[in-house]
Structures are given as C-alpha cells and as structure tokens.
C-alpha cells in the first residue's frame, strides 16, 4: 500500500446516513486516488474515525467511493449479514 503521509488532498464532500449516525468524508489525493474517512457518532461526544485513523480505498473517483459506501450494511445501520 502506498503511503499517503504528507500527500495533499481535498475533502470533495461528505455523506451521512439517513439517521445521521454514520458518515464518510470523500477525499481526493494528489496521486489521483480517492479514499473514504468513515466516521461514527459516539454518544455524548462527536464523530470518531471508524478505523482508528485509517482510510478506506483507494478508489478511482469520488463517484466510485460513494457507490461503494452507500449500500453497505454499516452505512445503512443494518447488522452484518
């Protein structure tokens, strides 16, 4: 896996689950790849990164990343199948 440390990126947009308890920042990096920063609401605090600071990806585009995350059981708040 290529390191993203020190690489420039922009947060293209954020998406949130219907209930507002899960979200993802979709980030485009200067290497042309897109990654997801998945976050969950922690009661009484704020959103926390779901993977301890790790990003999910790479994806070839913001559209690909969004199509990946939106139908997942986690994003929809359903138990794992």
pLDDT band at 53 (very low <50, low <70, confident <90, very high): confident
Q: Domain residues of the chain, as ranges?
A: 9-76
3-class secondary structure, 75? helix
Instruction: Show the DSSP H helices in 1-81 as ranges.
Output: 62-69, 73-76
Q: Which two tokens stand for residue 6?
A: 């020190």
Give this prediction's pTM.
Answer: 0.85
Q: What does the pLDDT average to over 11-32?
A: 94
């Amino acid at each position: 896996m290529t390191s993203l440390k020190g690489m420039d990126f922009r947060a293209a947009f954020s998406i949130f689950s219907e209930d507002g308890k899960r979200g993802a920042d979709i980030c485009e990096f200067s290497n042309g790849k897109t990654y997801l920063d998945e976050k969950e609401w922690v009661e009484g605090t704020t959103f926390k990164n779901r993977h301890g600071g790790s990003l999910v990806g790479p994806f070839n585009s913001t559209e690909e990343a969004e199509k990946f995350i939106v139908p997942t059981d986690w994003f929809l708040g359903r138990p794992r199948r």
